[in-house]
Amino acid sequence: MRAGGRAVVADMPLTGEYAPSPSDWAREQAEKYEATDGAEAGTLRGVPIVVYTSVGASSGKLRKTPLMRVEHDGEYLAVASKGGAPDHPAWYRNFLTSPFVEVQDGAQRHDCSVRELEGDERDVWWKRAVAVWPDYAEYQRSTDRLIPLLLLTPLDDDAA
C-alpha cells in the first residue's frame, strides 16, 4: 500500500493508551458511539456524526473526537470549528501529526491519510460542510481565524 511514496500499513490499528477527553459531552458521545457502532449517540441535534481516533501530537496517547459527518465519495471532512472559538481545537494538530487517523462511520472504520484543504478545493468542501451543519457559517463569522478544513482519505481501496 503506498501513499505519498511512503509504505503505509493501512489495516494496522492505531495503538496507544486511550486518553479520554476532558469535555464530558464529547467524551460520552464518542464512547457511546464506539460501543454501539453509532446505533446510540449517532447524531447531534438530529445530524449524523462520526468519531475520529488520532494520536496526541505531544502525549502520543489515543484521542477520540466526535465531529459532524461531512462525507463525499468515500472521503471525510473534519472541520476544526470548535464552536467559533478563537483558537484551533487540539485535535487539529493531532490529525496533522498522526501517522494516520481512523474514522468510524457507523460500523465502518477506515484508516485515513489527512491533508489540509485550501483554495478552490477548500471552497467546494466548505459548501458541503455548511450544507450538513449550517452553524459552521456562524462559527466562521464569529472568529478571525480561518477555520481549518482537513480532508481524510481512506487508505483502503474499497472505501472510495
Q: Of 3 and 39, which has the nearer Cβ to ligand F42? A: 39
149 near 117, Cβ under 8 Å? Answer: yes
Any bridge partners for residue 52, and if so which? 65, 103
Q: Which of residues 85-124 bind ligand F42 (CB under 6 A)?
A: 89-91, 93-94
Query: In whole angstroms, what separates CA 158 from the centre of its chain?
Result: 20
* 140 SS3 class: helix
Among residues 53, 68, 77, 109, which is the contact residue for ligand F42, using CB under 6 A?
68
Q: Examine residue 66 and tell whether it contacts ligand F42 (CB under 6 A).
A: yes
C-alpha to C-alpha distance for 48 and 41, rounded to whole angstroms: 9
Task: Find the binder of ligand F42 among 38, 56, 148, 154 (CB under 6 A).
Answer: 56
User: Under the rule (CB under 6 A), what is the footprint of ligand F42?
Assistant: 19, 21-23, 25-26, 29, 44, 49, 56-59, 61, 63, 65-68, 79-82, 89-91, 93-94
